[in-house]
A = this chain, B = another copy of it.
Amino acid sequence: MAKSSSRITLKDIARDVGVSTTTVSRVLAGKARKYRICDQTAKKVLSSAKKHNFKPNLSARALKLRKTYTIGVVVSDITNPFFASIAQSIELEARKQDYAIVLCDSGEDIFTEIECVELLRNRDVDGLIVSPVGEESNHLENICKEKLPLVLLDRYFPDLTIPYVACDSYTASQEAVSYLIKCGHHKIACIQGRVETISNKNRIAGYKKALRSNGIKLNNNFIIGDDFGEASGYLSMKLLLNQSPAPTAVLALSNPISLGALRAIREKDLKIPDDISIIAFDEQLYSKYLATPMTTIEQKNSEMGQVAVQLLIKQIKAKRYSSNKGILLPCNFIQRDSVKILK
């Protein structure tokens, strides 16, 4: 019966069992009960489908149902291990729920991000998970307006009602800086990433809050940097080391930044933590193997990915758009050897 080499279709199964495609479709959709299809028939359909290894043509189904069982994911840089592990957990959770992910990488570029979102929409994904660059949100707001499910990841817009899942950077940053202060540091610098991202804003806010709570005056020269990458961390650290007074401790707002800072510190032949202390956001596999094992702030990457998918699929299945605020997961402070105890 099989139509030569091409794939088995509903029709083939119908012919095989001697029943209409309607019935086959219903049985295979698990609606045998609902349509009170005779058990005999249902069983025959099921076994024939199995025997012929029938797989529905998803394009045909998508055309009819307007559901592709696909979710679009745009990360800002998959090369950043932080996003890599999030992507991994997104894919795993999606697969568990029978969704596939089509992945785009915006390379931290807003135009690419907009292009990717557009591209994914044209592919009729059922929903989107995006970790936006942050400079611009119109294209994301439009998605919501059109009731296409969307969940923001890691970076969100506090003034908008787009649902998100992120880690509580504010509290984590505050804790880290408080720890530095408790260790006797007063000249604490902060090497930041993209200033327009909420994660950066929150971390800066936590930093300021900790200073304020401890009666330390903010030195604006101690907030420096404008990108989450290694190069910016390097440059910023070089500038900080040339300031006077120079900081005795720095908080690096991303892991690549901390690596850049390390490079600048090494170039000056300074030692961590003797000459300068450092704490970095993002725990990595290598954090404990660096010249000085690094004190870090760990974000719950795989949880974030998993929760984002669950939130999204809930939206997809809910039909009506829920403007669910957002979810903040706690961070984890990992104390190692990169902070000197001054007092």
User: Interface of A with B (CB < 8 Å)?
Assistant: 5, 55, 57-60, 62-63, 68, 70, 77-79, 81, 84-85, 87-88, 91-92, 95, 100-105, 107, 116, 119-120, 122-124, 146, 230, 256, 259, 262-263, 266, 284-286, 288-292
Contacts and interface: CB of A to CB of B under 8 A. Distances in A.
Given A63-B63, A100-B120, 19 more contacts: A58-B122, A59-B124, A77-B88, A78-B91, A79-B85, A81-B81, A81-B84, A91-B105, A92-B105, A92-B107, A95-B116, A100-B104, A102-B102, A259-B286, A259-B289, A284-B286, A286-B286, A291-B291, A291-B292
Contacts of A103: 87, 91, 101-103
A58 B256 contact: no
8 contacts: A58-B124, A77-B88, A88-B105, A91-B104, A100-B120, A266-B289, A291-B291, A291-B292
Contact of A58 (B55, B88, B123, B262): B123
Contacts of A5: 146
Contacts of A262: 289
A144 to B, nearest CB: 14
Contact of A59 (B63, B79, B92, B290): B63
Contact of A102 (B70, B256, B284): B70
Contacts of A146: 5
Contact of A63 (B60, B84, B101, B105): B60
Contacts of A124: 57-59
Contacts of A286: 259, 284, 286, 290
Contacts of A105: 88, 91-92
Given A95-B119, A230-B285, A289-B291, A68 B79 contact: no
Given A78-B88, A256-B285, A102 B101 contact: yes
A291 B337 CA distance: 13
